[in-house]
Structure 1
Amino acid sequence: MSYVVFFQQLNEEHQVQLDKNMHFVEMTATYLDDYINSNKRALQNLALTDAIKQENASKITQIFQNYSLAQPETSLHWVANSQGIVISKFPNNELDSNLAEREYFQEAMKGNPYVGGPYICSQTRNEIIIITVPYYRDDKVAGIVGMTIPLSEVQTKLTTLQTDQSVDVGLISLEGKALSHPDLEEFRKKFVFKDSPIYQRVVVSKEESGYFEQDSVETVQEMHTFKVLTEAPWVVIVTQPLVAFNSRANQTGGRNLAVLFLLLLFLSWVIHYLLLLRDMSHAEKTKQTEKLALVGELAAGIAHEIRNPLTSIKGFIQLASQKKGKDIPPLYIETILEELDRIDQIVGEMVVLAKPAPEIKRKVHLDKILQETVNLMIPQALIHEIELTLEIEPGLPYVIGVSNQLKQVFINLIKNAIEAMEHGGTVMIKASRRSGNIVITIADTGRGMSQETLRKVGTPFFSTKDMGTGLGLVITFRLIQNHKGKVCIRSEVGVGTKFKIIFPAGDESEQ
């Protein structure tokens, strides 16, 4: 039984490591897809300019010069017409030979963006990747706009993302070319794409992501997780040597032989102990896995929420740069400032969520806090033709907490209730005692929520408001939890929503 428990723990650790590696490879692939997609969109924006459509070489060179200042990672930009003749190139303005036979030219001329590599730069002899998109004239493809990015930039980004030094992160193309690896030269010498399991999984079986184990040339067992990019014909591969797992199995095996003899005398006690140890270990690993998933969700949410206003800011700055000294429309400046305010709001709420202010808890009377909050929210309610009603049971006991934080809880919930009623209504606030607790209910007669929406309430970055950050209720729930409170939510579409908050009451004998 000792061996059974040991190998069960080993399998659980193996699964935790696999989940961690799968999460990392997904995060890395998403990051690279976003990076490539942002460069594609930048080229597509350039392809819409009149200078490129009219094939004005001097103006194109000026546009490329301005753009390269904002994109220092790129090494070269160019425009070629439908015959493959280079019209303009920056910063090296030496025109190339005809590009008509190049793969990246032919693919873009079909109307498809192209991403490929690695190629060898004819001037620097360094490895590069190439991105091209078509530009149109009279709804027909008239030529291509292209850029080159040093492969070293992509390799640097992969190195920056890698926080676990026990794994190797590689990037290969679907043609079998290695783009990145910690020991790239050695890897290129030994790696035979068509003989590898990744070829069978990705090229033959058309799998987009997955996992497999194999023995390397040195007979070291390895765990491989992979993910195919959506924006480029490349595959991210994370390799994890399993030496630690195998070594632990061998060491513990000898120890368990002695334990088997002791089981004859202490069988009942050892079984109970090992089962308890297994449960504790399983609970800890589950907790760590949930933390990893939450970190990934928060990271993806932050990237998504901040990328949207950044994209708008970048677009309007590009438009403003094209004015070349002319008056910039006020709409550009207003939009940029609004988007910067939104980023500041998101970051501010994240700071509150991640690092709340120091708390000095004292006796707080909720009846006073509720009355102050209602008085504060009455003007906003009147604007929306909403009636606020407050019922407080006399003689409510106090709670131990921070008054400003409790007031913030009630402000957030009442504000949400007001915003849920588009055509007027009533928000009813009640406070009463029940079995040693203080119960606060905040009910509205608004549009209500479906069960699917209700399950997502309190999830970071989930919001039903057009301009919401999805962090207000997360902070609210955290403040309630810090006061040892609980929250119950009931809602029905077309009827309304009721929040019930339960706080433990203080010692009445001390009032």
Structure 2
Amino acid sequence: MHKQLKRAFNKRNFFLYVCIVLLPLALLSPFYLDYKSKQVHAELEAEARSHSSFQALYIESFISETIGRLESMAVLMSDQGDNLSLIEQVLYKTHTKDARFSGFYWLNTEGDIIVSSNVLTDKVNLIDRPYVQEAIQTGKTRISEAHFGRVTGRYIFSLATPVRNHFGELSGILIGSVQLNEMENVINDLSNGEFVQLIDDNNQILVQSEDLVPEAKSAASYMKLEVVPWKVKSVVSFDYAGLVMIPFLFHLLTAFVVATILFMLIQSYRSKQKLAQELKQNEAEKLKLIGTIAASTAHEIRNPLTGIKGFISLLSAKYKDSKDQYYFSLIQNEVDRINTIVSELLIVGKPTVIIEETNDLNEILKEIIPLIESEAHMYNVQLSFQMTEESVWVKVSKDHFKQIVLNLVKNALEAMDSGGQLHLASEAVEGTALLLVRDTGKGMPPEVLDKILTPFFTMKKSGTGLGLAVCKRILDSYGGSMRIESEVGAGTQITIEVPLAGKSEVTFGSSVS
């Protein structure tokens, strides 16, 4: 049976572990992985945007400088349209000094190349090129699409600038061809590990830094150029395992460890609660057993006790000597004390009879104040009372409540054998009536406080250890409670809490067992 219970408990714990730890982690992990991937991707997109912006700025500067160089040459040649030898000399010198250019060409108004910085083997006419026609029509420098040059056979793009004389007439067209591999060198020099492409308005790739591995995880960004209808694409590859999976697994493991520790703490708390409940049940069972034994013992004691009391009365009537009377009174007092103990045993041994009557807590205190004052005077204790102006109605038997108060006062006075102060106060707070009993006696250490409500536990030489147990038994029957706070050398404070009675609950005289 024990093994079956243990196996069932283990299965239940495993089920709770799955529900509290494993299942939430399994459900939340994909969402966190997706969040982590998006976070890394967003960071890399920002990095790629920074790279593309930097590359675009430099490429625009490169193209603008190239256009500026060509237009400067066009200004120089504007009045030299017929001086072909001078034009050839300028084209040749510029070509040899500036490596970015693949060649320079001087076209007549019909589009024929009549002067070239490169050797021409055939007659070439470029009037059919769209960028040349646009340059003639707009009067501004225009850039061609990337193409293989008819003269050099290289992969280039060309710039066409119309040249006009001082009369404003078109005297020729200056063409400058730029090697794309020069731009590729620029891109590679500026590249910091990212993959870069230069793309024209037809989505044709003009140049790129290096081959992109298709399987690599990456983030891309585009940046349009202003001087030409091109765009720069920067692609940043990243280590998915290093940036996403390893942090994800680390956080997952951390969450697993934290959740497991939390589960263990919860289980530990539940075990302690269960153990405390079991101890409470054991205490209840022990108390019930003690009560049963106490009740049967009390009945057995009372029978001969009644006979003893009767015989003492007869002897007392027969022997009138003062010395005999003194001994008879001592015996009578001890018999009465035994009878009191037996009465307390009976209270412990049977449920308290609930008296359904509503009383004013302050009125109960006023009735027993003379008794308390008399007792306090005997112990040389200063007494103070603090009661609410309004009535504090509680649904408790007057006799039972008096018994509780007198028992607590008796304990407080006995704790102040060399004098002190005793304070009693009543209060109503949020549906609860409070009775405070505070003394300045010896106080109690924590180990005594833990056992103080246990039946038959006492620190007094002549005590029974049943007084507080009886008080607690009575309070439990009326739905009340007792809180004890004590400090060695500073005294003890006991707070009695009883539910307040509503006005509609004022009923007198009926009793229910």
Fold match by TM threshold 0.5: no
Q: If the length of structure 2 is used for normalisation, what is the TM-score?
A: 0.41
